[in-house]
Amino acid sequence: MCAGCGRARGPRSGPCWPPAAGPSSTAPRWRGTSAIPQSPLYSATKHAVIGLSKSAALQYAGDGIRVNVVSPGSTDTPLLRDLYRDPDALDQRARRASLGRLGSCEEVANAAAWLLSPLSGYATGQTIVVDGGVTAGSAVTRR
């Protein structure tokens, strides 16, 4: 018996995942929806998180568990600013987004909060990309 959810488990079964009923969310970055030629392993691991989440969504839907993915793009964090110490390089990265700026941690958290709320009650097996439009395509010239 699983201590987390109470379901019957075989003697060699691992713990249940997710451990309790309700929504679940993972975050593999937006590269899980595209690829980069310089790092096939990086792309593969991000795609794997999305595939695992889709499989888990199917496996646990009957138990009322929803599994979705939040896939953030370039988000203004200390780590990103440390990687892009040159302000011009950081600005260039921000301009890749159709919105022309970096995302905020709050914007990514808001997407996760929506997925974890009853407002998204019919969403499962989905990937919500929060990247300012990077994966939508090339941005038009801004005025």
Sheet holding 127-130, edge to edge: 23-26, 66-72, 127-130
Is 42 in the active site? Answer: yes
24 strand-pairing partners: 67
Select which of 42, 60, 84, 122 is catalytic.
Answer: 42
Rounded CA separation 43/7 (Å): 34
Environment class of 74 (CB within 10 Å of its CB; exposed 0-12, middle 13-18, buried 19+) = buried
Burial 99-112 (b: 16+ CB within 10 A, else e): eeebbeeeebeebb
Whether 46 is catalytic is yes
Task: Give kind and range of the element (H or E) at residue 49.
Answer: helix 40-60
Q: Which residues are catalytic?
A: 42, 46
